[in-house]
Amino acid sequence: MSRNQSLPWWVEIGVLPVINLAAAFIVSGLVMAALGHDPFEALGLMVTGAFGSADSLGYTLYYTTNFIFTGLAVALASHAGLFNIGAEGQAMLGGLGAALVGLVISPGLPGIIAIPLAILAAMIFGGIWGAIPGWLQAYRGSHVVITTIMMNFLAGALLTYLLVDVLIAPGGGTPESRSISENVWLPAAHQIAQSLGLELAQTPLNLSLLLGLFCALGLNIFLWRTRWGFSLRAVGLNPHAALYAGISPSRMTVLAMALSGALAGLVGANEILGAQHRLVLGFTGGYGFVGIAVALMGRNRPTGVIIASLLFGALYQGGSELALDMPGISRDLVVMIQGLIILFCGALENIFRSPLARLFAAARSTRAELTGTAGG
Amino acid sequence: MDDFITVSLALAAGSLRLAIPLMLGALGGLFSERAGIVDVGIEGKMLISAFASAAVAHATNSPWAGLAAGLGAGIVFALIHGVGAIAFRGNQVVSGMALNILAAGLTVTIAAALYSQGGRTPQLPDAARFRGTSFAAADGTSQLDPALRALFELVAGHNILVYLSLVLVPALVWLVHKTRFGLRLRAVGENPEAVDTAGIQVATLRYQASIISGLLCGLAGTYIAIAQSASFVPNMTAGKGYLALAALIFGKWRIWPTFFACLLFAFADAAQSRLQGLNIPGIGAIPVQFIQALPYVLTLVLLAGLVGRAIPPKASGVPYVKER
């Protein structure tokens, strides 16, 4: 069974995700055609909308940053054999942590201290929100999928409560906090460019993108070059074997969920410290759920996550532009495409994997026969 | 005192109305999970059915046609999940999440293209809906005593889907616990190898369970769109599918306890508007969000094993591979 399913690594990482993606786009195109829209025109508009100008590229990369964080979060948990669908809630808490530093602690602090402090708070808050389901899984046996779903709702309720009753800007009518102090604002890309004497369009793209790339690099080193990373992957591959090797699966489970939550919490850095500059409701915008798709497409590898994040960033930005340009198309088209991508990459991937695997198995045996006859 | 009775009866009727979609969704999840297929896609199945029922009821002006469409949409989504889980042995949690996201996007995309009302369907006329009976005259006044009227509305004032759902509960208990199909269904979620050894097709049983799950979630979505409301609104299930999942776990994957969990959660929901602004001595006002979060907190506490223990069906989430 597993013998027939094995694929060369480049097919596994490169070809299969592309086929899955193509299937998702074809189905989306069919839906659009059925609704009387030209799918090719829409695709063209989306590509232009995502990459057509410096402005749109800035937005694309800004969305990409969020997906890098949530994608890495889901990927990290996957390596420990855990399915973290709580990235959404962890991201909310991360934003809360960052905002609290920006509202309460940072005024008066120099930026060089305040910014790392706020980022750290985002990671700690998100990390705790991840560690709770991790602990429940490790020591109470409650399944992390279910508990993270519950934690998402609790995070939503907590944030709504705080924004409606506690942190709401004095005199404000909408549930959002006052502005966080300016010394925790992450420098925007156009500001950085300006200091280097370059002119860039004003977009929400900020330093967080570099932070995301740095996290991807860090995760790569952590997972494949450190003892803890090895232990974590060992638990994911076979908890019983890991236990015999002296690794505590329970501890690794909590660690993985805490780190995963910390990564998801960094969405708060990008959104609150980098773009919104205040705590608002719904700033997580489904990034946590899309992180599942990002990790699936990126095959749980940091490099793959970055590439997949760019794709989803482009989809988000391109979709917004499309909704503006094409009457009768709603932004939710992107949500549909995301759903289809998750479906084809995750649930239905064996539709394409099995035939491909058979094809390669057949090719291998033919080659073996040929070399066999040539040798004899 | 009379006033208290009236309020209590109204609260009970409100709880019942809110409990119906939860209960149907949770029972749908129950059939899937007891057969060994993890179902985090209840929300998506409910949402797609809500849209399908509202769209068809609008087109045909018939609630029954809407119901048929809602059930059909639920089955289609359940079968996508089923095929992914059973035939292609995909990750069932991923599949469920995919359906939730797909439903959220697909419904609004179609609705926006068809009706250009920001993803809504047009308002349905009364004839295209399932409606309850009001015991008030057309001008809102009533000859009846308020308490008596509240009692009538609790007992007889609901739409037909409410009564259908209430009859379904004991019927499903009978199906799961007293029939051969039910025994096999429960067995396939615990020990599919044994079922297979007995010469029963594991895949067939699981597909049957998926279809029942789709029907129940479809009924839930239909209820939300064309009985409880009069149109489809984007994301109108608003997490009820997840709440149903919580109720299913809170009820430990058994029908009656799940039913009561739904009533409890619905009661919390119905009571929150009345509890708003209520001051408890020593504590102060209870924030609405706290009451909204209560079902999830309760479920987490239960899952943590602090009160009782929730143990899922043993083979839940494990694809079955026949030995060769």
Distance of CA A63 to CAs A57, A59, A209, A270, A342, Å?
10, 6, 9, 9, 18
How far off is chain B from A57, nearest CA to CA, in Å? 24
CB atoms within 10 A of CB A13: 15
CA distances from residue A222 to A233, A368, B154 in whole angstroms, order as listed: 10, 39, 60
Q: How far apart are CA B32 and CA A164, in angstroms?
A: 38
Identify whether the C-beta of residue A77 lies closer than 8 Å to the C-beta of residue A86. no
Distance CA B47, CA B25 (A): 11
Q: How many domains does chain A have?
A: 1
3-state secondary structure A24-80: HHHHHHHHHHHCCCCHHHHHHHHHHHHHCCHHHHHHHHHHHHHHHHHHHHHHHHHHC
Looking at chain A from residue 13 to 42, which residues have their Cβ under 8 Å from any Cβ of chain B? 31, 35-37
Contact B98 A347 (CB under 8 A): yes
Q: Across all residues in chain B, what is the average pLDDT?
A: 87
- Partners of residue A348 in chain B, C-beta under 8 Å: 83-84, 88, 90, 95
Establish if A306 belongs to a structural domain: yes
Q: Which domain holds residue A142?
A: 38-327
Chain A residues within 8 A of B312 when measuring between CB atoms: 143
pLDDT digits (tens, 9 = 90+) for B180-211: 999 999 999 999 999 999 999 999 999 999 99
Residue A104 falls inside a structural domain? yes
Query: Best mutation site among B94, B107, B210, B248 for testing chain A: the one with the most A CBs within 10 Å?
Result: B94
**pLDDT number for residue A1:** 38
CB A207 within 8 A of CB A60: no
Interface contact A346-B293, CB threshold 8 A: no
CA distance A208 to A269: 7
Residue A7 lies in a domain: no
Helix axes A287-297, A87-100, angle to 10 degrees: 120
Residue range B131-136: mean pLDDT, rounded:
74
What does the alpha-carbon distance between residue A103 and residue B39 come to, in Å, rounded to a whole number?
41
Name the residue type at position B187.
A
Average of pLDDT values for B20-28? 96
**CA distance readout (Å), B168 to A162, B222, B232, B255:** 41, 16, 25, 11
Residue B156 has pLDDT above 60, yes or no: yes
Is A373 contained in some domain? no
Report residue A206: phi and psi, to 5°: -145, -175
Q: Higher model confidence: residue B162 or residue B148? A: B162
Q: What is the pLDDT of residue B279?
A: 67
Distance from chain centroid for Cα A105: 29
Q: Residue B49 has what pLDDT?
A: 97
Q: Which residue has the tokens 């940053």?
A: A65
Closest to B173 in 3D by CA, of B32, B313, B27, B56? B27
Higher pLDDT, B142 or A309: A309
pLDDT of amino acid A4: 47
Residue B314 pLDDT > 70, yes or no?
yes
* Nearest residue, CB atoms, A161 vs list B100, B105, B289: B289
Task: Give the minimum alpha-carbon distance from A217 to chain B in angstroms, rounded to a whole number.
Answer: 26
CATH number of the domain where residue A226 is located? 1.10.3470
Which CATH architecture is the domain B17-137+144-303 placed in?
Orthogonal Bundle (1.10)
* Token digits of residue A19: 């086929």
Mean pLDDT, contiguous 10-residue spans, chain A (376 residues): 63 84 92 90 92 92 97 97 94 97 87 92 98 93 88 94 89 86 90 87 92 97 96 94 94 97 97 94 91 90 95 93 85 89 85 84 83 59
Which residues does chain B have within 8 Å of residue A85's beta carbon, measured at their own beta carbons? Answer: 40, 93, 97
User: Mean pLDDT, to the nearest integer, of B107-122?
Assistant: 90
Which residues in B lie closer than 8 A to residue A334 (C-beta atoms)?
105
Closest CA to B47 of B77, B90, B67: B77
Query: Tell me, what's the pLDDT at B33?
Result: 93
Residue in B56, B38, B32, B50 with CA at minimum distance from that of residue B98:
B38
Question: Which residues touch A203 (CB under 8 Å, ≥6 apart)?
Answer: A55, A58, A59, A62, A188, A189, A190
**What percentage of chain B reaches a pLDDT higher than 70?**
90
Which residues in B lie closer than 8 A to residue A349 (C-beta atoms)? 88, 90
Residue A376 is predicted with a pLDDT of 42
Residue B137 pLDDT greater than 60, yes or no: no
* Residues of chain B found within 8 Å of residue A286, distances taken between Cβ atoms: 101
| Ranges A181-185, A231-235, B18-22, B215-219: which has the least confidence | A181-185
Task: Judge: A146–B303 Cβ closer than 8 Å, yes or no.
Answer: yes
pLDDT average, residue stretch B64-81? 96
The helix-helix angle for B2-34 and B63-82 (nearest 10°) equals 40
Residue A61 lies in a domain: yes
Q: What residue ranges do the domains of chain B occupy? A: 17-137+144-303
The answer to whether position A146 is within a domain reads: yes
Does residue A333 sit within a domain?
no
- Report CA-CA distances (Å) from A41 to A28, A166, A235: 13, 47, 48
Contact B300 A150 (CB under 8 A): yes
